[in-house]
Amino acid sequence: METFTNARELAENRDYGRARQASLAELDLSAIDGPITDIVEGFNALPHCFTLQCCCGHFLSVPGQGLHNLDPIPPGFSSLATYRIAYVALCLENSRRGQALRRSLARLPELCPDFIQFGSADWFWERWKNSYVLQVGPRAHMLRDEAILGSADALQTQAARDLLFAEIRVLLAAELRDNEAG
């Protein structure tokens, strides 16, 4: 499945408020991968943003692991791993704060340009204007939601994922402080 396209510019979206309300009403936090529940809650606490879908990123590197395995790649790993991409899909309000958040999100790939991408996805955009995706995976696999990775790429992807989620938490803390300040 293709999951990534170039980031689009924010457009007018008169449906934003209704779409946000509907999305938040349907949200089931127990269905979110535990390690990123706080990120989903943080984005959804902002009036100019709401989450659409997300995944912590799953590495299947040991026989018998379930599809939703949250274990890190084991030390000394030197084989192939199936990687299901880490991503956060968001919808932004076309407002001053939404535009500023989009600019901040668009800079996050600078952390690790070969493994972190910011863009849009046609499937999301058709349903929610102004939707964006931050995703983690080797650039060569950025158009797929699953890839078979060698040990070096798997370990670099895992490190990039952990870095991205840490930086999103820093960004969210600042964004939430700014929102409270008005």
Stretch 78-82: mean pLDDT: 95
Task: Give the pLDDT of residue 142.
Answer: 87
Task: Give the pLDDT of residue 144.
Answer: 87
In our burial notation (b when 16+ CB lie closer than 10 A, e otherwise), range 25-44 reads eeeeeeebbeebeebbebbb
Give the dihedral sign, CA 106/131/53/139: negative
| CA nearest neighbour of 83 among 143, 145, 134, 152 | 145
Stretch 156-173: mean pLDDT: 98
Tens of pLDDT, residue by residue over 6-52, are 999 999 999 999 999 999 999 999 999 999 999 999 999 999 999 99
What the chain holds in terms of domains, given with CATH numbers, is 16-181 (3.30.1960)
The beta-strand segments (E) located in 86-162 are 86-92, 116-119, 131-136, 146-149
Position 66 confidence tier, pLDDT thresholds 50, 70, 90: confident
Position 3 confidence tier, pLDDT thresholds 50, 70, 90: low
Task: Give the pLDDT of residue 1.
Answer: 41
Tens of pLDDT, residue by residue over 99-148, are 999 999 999 999 999 999 999 988 899 999 999 999 999 999 988 889 99
